[in-house]
Amino acid sequence: MIHCLATAARRAAPSLTAAALLALAAPPARAWGPIVHQRVTSEAIETLPKGLRPFYKAHRLEIPSLAVDAAPPTEEGPDRRFAVDHFLPFPFADIPHTEAALKAKYGEEAAAKAGRLPWLIEEAYGHLVDAFRSGDKAKILEESDVLSGYVADIHNPLALTENFDGQKTEQHGLWVRVTTKLPEAMDKKLNFGGQAARLVDDPKGYVFALMPRVFIWVDNLLYLEELARRGQSGYTEIYYDTMTDKVGPLLKERLVEATTDVGSYWYTAWTAAGRPDLK
């Protein structure tokens, strides 16, 4: 398994002190660039069952991020990540599952700096259920798009670690290189789909069960990026060609799972709303 290659990078990172926590800089708003979010959202439609897929296919271009005149993503600060490794060591079994409990255990400031991604997903899922119940087409498509973005975000290993930008392992700028520039460089090579959407038994609990499975790729990503930089004089086309070979398979695997989970959350929200007829 690839993830067994590079535990040293994470183990070498020092534990976070209060002073170091203050040094955490806010990454770009989304854990993936626009290309990734658009493709995940588009491909998630194909994972849906026949009772739901026709609605999304018919209104694909009315989904905000897929619209012809889609607006650039809005910057939202560090909320769209969750540095779970600040609070506990892997596999994070005792991480509180409510934001109030996290703040009570670790303090308001630490919780705020770590990000809100699990609770953004929870809130967006609830909003989508409400939208399905209302039957408001525009609201359904808007909330589906928001939820898709958050679910895709949590499949990015860098969104779950303090070392999101490679700042602890002398890989500064890693966030943008991996999440935006690499997908752009891969372009047509970044082809992926998803598995058939399934019902998520516990939408809230699933997020916390998912995090260890995503986080386990952090060390691997750090290691492979370091390999790609060896012998390079900068982040040139050659660097991104090497990244495509070394990190591309990991990126695709993450996005296949993200696509499947986006479709599954949409399907689950529709079911929780009573499977209303949609046109």
Phi-psi region of 115 (alpha: psi -120 to 50; beta: other; left: phi over 0): left
Tens digits of residue pLDDT in 233-275:
899 999 999 999 999 999 999 999 999 999 999 999 999 999 9
> How many CB atoms within 10 Å of residue 11?
9
In this prediction, what percent of the chain has a pLDDT beyond 70?
A: 87
pLDDT for the residue 28: 47
Q: Flag whether pLDDT at 78 surpasses 70.
A: yes
Per-residue pLDDT tens for 154-184? 999 999 999 999 999 999 999 999 999 999 9
Over residues 46-53, the mean pLDDT reads 97
What is the distance, to the nearest Å, from the Cα of residue 196 to the centroid of all Cα atoms in its chain?
Answer: 19
Confidence at 69, pLDDT banded by 50, 70, 90: confident
